[in-house]
Amino acid sequence: MNPAASPARTAAIVPAAGRGERLGPGAPKALRSIGDIPILVHAVRSLADCGRVGLVVVAAPPDGVAGVAELLAPFGATVRVVAGGSTRQHSVSLALDAVPEDVDVVLVHDAARALTPPDLVAAVADAVAAGHDAVIPVLPVADTIKAVDAASTVTGTVDRSTLRAVQTPQGFRRSLLAKAHATAGTPTDESAAATDDAGLVESLGSPVRVIPGHPEAFKVTTPFDLILAEAVWARRTAETKNTLDAKNDDAQNAAETKNTVETKNAAGTKNTVETDTRKTDA
Ligand code: CTP
Ligand code: MG
Eight-class DSSP state of 52: S
d(CA 36, CA 10): 30
Tens of pLDDT, residue by residue over 202-233, are 999 999 999 999 999 999 999 999 999 999 99
SS (H, E, C) 70-103: HHCHHHHHHEEEEECCCCHHHHHHHHHHCCCCCC
Task: Give the ligand whose atoms come closest to the C-alpha of residue 196.
Answer: 1
User: Of 21, 22, 29, which is best to mutate to test ligand 1, by the most ligand atoms within 8 angstroms of its C-beta?
Assistant: 29
Domains of the chain by residue range: 7-219, 222-282
Task: Give the ligand whose atoms come closest to the C-alpha of residue 20.
Answer: 1
Q: How many residues does the chain have?
A: 282
Going by pLDDT thresholds of 50, 70 and 90, the confidence category of residue 2 is low
Q: What residues sit around ligand 2, an ion, with C-beta below 5 angstroms?
A: 18
User: Of 88, 109, 189, 190, which is best to mutate to test ligand 1, by the most ligand atoms within 8 angstroms of its C-beta?
Assistant: 88
Q: Which residues surround ligand 1 with Cβ inside 6 Å?
A: 15-22, 29-30, 59, 84-88, 91, 110-112, 219, 221
Tens of pLDDT, residue by residue over 118-172, are 999 999 999 999 999 999 999 999 999 999 999 999 999 999 999 999 999 999 9
The correct answer on CATH 3.20.20.140 for the domain covering 7-219 is no
Which atom of ligand 1 is nearest the CA belonging to 86?
8
Task: Give the ligand whose atoms come closest to the C-alpha of residue 29.
Answer: 1
DSSP reduced 3-state for 275? helix
Q: What is the pTM of this model?
A: 0.88
d(CA 187, CA 171): 22
